[in-house]
Amino acid sequence: MSSVTLRAAPALRDPAWAGRVFWMLAALALLAPMLWATEFKPWILFEPAGLRSTLRFVGEFFPPKLDAEFLQLIAYETWRTIAIATCGMVLALVLAIPLTLAATAVLSVSALPGRMHAGPFLLRQAVRWLLILLRSVPELVWALVFVRVVGLGPAAGVLAIALTYSGMLGKVYAEILESGETHPTTALLRNGSGRLQAFFYGLLPANTLELTSYTVYRWECAIRSSAVLGFVGAGGLGQQLITSLRMFNGAEVSTILLVFIALVWLADWVSAKLREVLA
Amino acid sequence: MSVDALPGRPGAPPPPSLLHARCAVCWVVLGIAVLVVASFASLDLQWSRFLSVDAMRRMGRFIAELLSPSVDPAFLKRLAVASAETLAMSALGTLLAVAAGLAIALPASRVYAGERALLRAPTRLLLNVLRSIPELAWAALLLIAAGLGPFAGTLALAFHTTGVLGRLFAEAIENAPPGPAVALRVQGVPEGRVFLYATLPAVLPQILSYSLYRWENNIRAAAVLGVVGAGGLGQMLAFHMGLFQMRETSSVLIAMIALVALVDLLSYVTRRVLAR
């Protein structure tokens, strides 16, 4: 009996022990150059001189600055943040809708009997590449570029959001339109309706909900990004935040951060409610 | 619908009043229209400034300058280093966030019905605050404590991502199938081991896929974080653009787009492979 327990005892040890140790060491070996590349030195956070100024700065966070004049300024900047996002979305839609119509393969007449013709195919691919290019440049980079071209101010932010979001909207719209039920659309096209007619009577009614819900979601994202676009001088809350940070004004920073958080929550809530109403 | 129920017939129900729920869509559309008009009216967009011939010419010259990237080997080497730095920032930031997110997700989830979970509300509030402040704002804040450079960027990514992942992890833990955990708990196994041997194995695939998804997002975010001085490609971009060195700026932009495109491609391929 005792010999059985003795033989059973080794099974309590982890059979995968060697493998685990190997992978842990391998992960550490991978991690080391990363720590070096990112200058990962947590101890500089606790150096006395730096720590003292950080603590002084954070100490000023409470109480937040709440005098009427400053609050008025912040309210104005908050509205500008929302306005930049909304104008950017409208311009993005103006750009994205025609591009979507051009990129959607379902609306191809030549593809009805079989393969799409070379000309329309190349056009659609070109539009797709344009959308991918617009989308892959982050809006902050567009904003940097436009601040150089049109000067500081909300115009740069609006244009940046318009360009990046037109790429995102166009690509996803085309995907939504092509993934849904396409039978009514092709039936219309086969019976001689125009492409626009087929779109308005076949494709659009079938996908309205999904399209609007995605648009509302993107508007929420646009508000979040317009809040940070100000960091490069494109107006709105971000610009105010960076100004207060440069002046080490903790009380102002904490007010702006609170407004930031409230704005993000508000956009989140409104967008969830809107999607609920529309569904 | 019977003929009598059609509107306009005697005996048909009256049309809904304007404040009725059926008119919700009309009100939403009206609200959006007002928002759009007010937005365009209140911003001093100065259309003339960027639709004028002068602005077009400046834009054209700008684009022409961007089309001749610098290919100086020494510069390309620095560019490669900055790209690697961007990747390292995103990977390390995500890794820190996975650890911190998991640590905060534990008190932020109610693991069995009737658990008091006193810490659930405060930790969820903390996660929401971490999540609501964008990476870029975190980076600008952390520059004060961590100084210029990639360390601040890494921490900024970690803070924001902790908020995002912590919430997702907490949801995953709460929604895990309760069977195995209950079986261990009724045997008197302590809570920590219940998590390690029952809940964690069940939610591990979700944790992994959320983390990979956030890593993908973070590579994109890390590329621009440097604009406020937090290292990586963004810092190079802001530096060269500030000095109007357009050839270098153009190379940095190309590297950035290539990095983002590469990540998109990899994620697309992975998804295709995993979906099969």
Instruction: Give the structural domain span for B19.
Output: 3-42
Contact in structure between B79 and B255 (CB atoms under 8 Å): yes
Q: Rounding to the nearest 10 degrees, give the CA dihedral for residues B166, A253, A61, A258.
A: -50
Tell whether B269 is covered by a domain.
yes
Highest averaged pLDDT of the listed ranges A6-20, A60-74, A102-116, B49-63? A60-74
CB–CB of B140 and A83 under 8 A?
A: no
Q: What does the alpha-carbon distance between residue B132 and residue A256 come to, in Å, rounded to a whole number?
A: 13
Encode pLDDT of B183-239 as tens digits: 999 999 998 889 998 999 999 989 988 998 899 889 989 988 888 888 889 889 888
**Cα distance between residue A141 and residue A143, in whole Å:** 5
Task: Please give the pLDDT value at position B166.
Answer: 95
Number of domains in chain B: 2
Mean pLDDT of B27-50: 84
Spell out the domain ranges in chain A.
68-278
Structure confidence at residue B17 (pLDDT): 65
Residue B103 lies in a domain: yes
Q: Which of B146, B220, B256 sits opposite A44 (nearest CB)?
A: B146
Angle at B147 between CA B143 and CA B148, to 5 degrees: 85
Asked whether residue B20 falls in the same domain as residue B152, the answer is no
Write the residue in A38, A133, A231 that is nearest to B85 by C-beta.
A38
A262-267: long-range contacts at Cβ-Cβ below 8 A with a sequence spacing of 24 or more?
A: A263/A78, A263/A81, A263/A82, A263/A223, A263/A227, A263/A237, A264/A223, A264/A224, A264/A227, A264/B132, A265/B128, A265/B132, A267/A219, A267/A220, A267/A223, A267/A224
CB neighbourhood size of A151 (10 A): 14
Distance CA B135, CA B67 (A): 30
Chain-chain contact of A40 with B154 (C-beta, under 8 angstroms): yes
Calpha distance A174→A189 (Å, rounded): 18
What is the SS3 assignment for A246? helix
Residue B56 lies in a domain: no
ipTM of the complex: 0.80
Does the beta-carbon distance from B91 to A37 stay under 8 Å?
Answer: no
**How does pLDDT run across A155-203, given as a tens digit for each residue?**
889 999 999 999 999 999 998 998 888 888 989 998 988 889 999 998 8
Does residue B190 form part of some domain? yes
Determine the residue among B30, B86, B136 to mutate to test chain A binding: the one whose Cβ has the most chain A Cβ atoms within 10 Å. B136
- Multiple choice CATH, A68-278, 1.10.3720.10, 3.30.450.30, 3.30.365.10, 3.20.20.70: 1.10.3720.10
pTM more than 0.80: yes
Does a cis peptide bond (omega within 30 degrees of 0) precede residue A113?
Answer: no
Taking the C-alpha atoms of residue A85 and residue A154, their distance in angstroms, rounded to an integer, is 10
Q: Say if residue B204 is exposed, middle or buried (CB neighbours under 10 Å; 0-12, 13-18, 19+).
A: exposed
Decide if B201 contacts B166 (C-beta within 8 A): no
Q: Which of B45, B193, B246 has the alpha carbon at shortest distance from A83?
A: B45
On whether the CB atoms of residues B231 and B147 are closer than 8 A, the answer is: no
Q: In this model, does residue B24 exceed pLDDT 80?
A: no
Instruction: Answer whether residue B225 is part of any domain.
Output: yes
Whether B21 and B156 map to the same domain: the answer is no
pLDDT at A3: 47
Mutate to test the interface with B, among A20, A28, A34, A38 (most CBs of B within 10 A): A38
Q: Are B152 and B192 in contact (CB under 8 A)?
A: no
